[in-house]
Amino acid sequence: MFIHVYICINIYCVLYLISINSLISFSIPLCEMVCALGIEGSANKIGVGIIKDGQVLANVRKTYITPPGEGFLPKETAKHHREQILNLIKSALKEANLNNSDLDVICYTKGPGMAPPLLVGAIVARTLSLLWSKPLIGVNHCIGHIEMGRLITGAHNPIVLYVSGGNTQVIAYSNKRYRIFGETIDIAVGNCLDRFARIIKLSNDPSPGYNIEQLAKKGKQFIKLPYVVKGMDVSFSGILSHIEEIADPSKKRSKRKKPDEPEAPEYTKADMCYSLQETIFAMLVEITERAMAHCDSNEVLIVGGVGCNERLQEMMAIMCEERNGKLFAIDERYCIDNGLMIAHAGAEMFRSGAHMKFSDSFVTQRYRTDEVLVTWRSD
């Protein structure tokens, strides 16, 4: 069975299959219990998850880790995903103690994300859909995070802070849409942390953000950094440029020293990590609190890879307590990109009657959270 899958991953074979099956669409009956397999591969993690009627059956993943000081490039990341995905599918089915005949739907990340890694997941999902005669559902990555958080924590209708390497958004649900109240106007908070980790040559294992978090606990001095909140939006690029000059003074634009200018103080890497975290997390807490006031909400849910950060959770919990609110957060099993969140969101879509024509099963690098019609919520 998996030999056939491997053969069909070849893009030319898949394109041929698409050409002869471009009119395929599966009838989607409304059903109460759904068993879904989800594939997530929008960035440097490739994951496969299986869920049945809200019960977690399997959640496996692999991470593409690069040397210190280096990021992950689309081509190399896609190669890593191709090498791992079939074994992950076999592991997930084994862990769930299921056969392909037990599945009701195949789900994959449609976007947003990096195109080459996204394509790996999409091609394998399309191939499995054809081989196993299963319906196919494309899932918005951001929606996957939100629905996973709601499932695990039991949060009813929270303000959602979605923070990851590619996205920073404050979100609230209203009238069948997840509305974006505020977001970054340049780079995402996770991207800011990852890039600073590369500047100071921190390890990428298990992740740059985690290593910054651990080093920040040793920080003693707070460095005043730019604090950029513009209404409900935030900006991180200027903060990154500023702290980069502190970490590497040779990169300062003006290197001429004034006669009365004092010597620049020396800061440790721990001091810089501590100061960066405190500043950018305070910005996120501010715009989240403003969204709570605007929506008259007393719940906050943090999702996305940066949501694992215990200091961010601590700062947000203090704000929620002061407002007589409640914070909901999840651990790295469900916070970091995973196939289970795609399976769950896809299952919810499938249960509500959503369907996808095979010819529409493409990927898109830009796919905003508020583009998705939320058919599975009745509130």
Confirm whether residue 378 is marked as ligand binding: no
Over residues 130-134, the mean pLDDT reads 97
Confirm whether residue 166 is marked as ligand binding: yes
Confirm whether residue 194 is marked as ligand binding: yes
Over residues 74-89, the mean pLDDT reads 98
Confirm whether residue 309 is marked as ligand binding: yes
What is the per-residue pLDDT across 91-116, written as a single tens digit (0 to 9) for each? 999 999 999 999 999 999 999 999 99
Q: Do residues 115 and 309 touch, judged by C-beta distance below 8 A? A: no
Confirm whether residue 182 is marked as ligand binding: no
Confirm whether residue 248 is marked as ligand binding: no
Distance, first Cα to last Cα, the chain: 42
Distance CA 119, CA 362 (A): 8
Please state the pTM of the whole predicted model: 0.90
What is the per-residue pLDDT across 296-330, written as a single tens digit (0 to 9) for each? 999 999 999 999 999 999 999 999 999 999 999 99
pLDDT score, position 325? 97
pLDDT at 54 over 60: yes
Task: Supply the mean pLDDT for the chain.
Answer: 91
Distance CA 337, CA 326 (A): 24
Confirm whether residue 145 is marked as ligand binding: yes
Confirm whether residue 163 is marked as ligand binding: yes
pLDDT score, position 17? 41
Over residues 59-67, the mean pLDDT reads 97
Q: Which helix (H) or strand (E) holds 328?
A: strand 326-329
Token code pair at residue 284 = 């996120």
Confirm whether residue 325 is marked as ligand binding: no
Residues in the chain: 379
pLDDT score, position 251? 75
The beta-strand segments (E) located in 184-250 are 229-230, 233-234
Confirm whether residue 21 is marked as ligand binding: no
Position of tokens 């893009």? 11
pLDDT score, position 254? 62
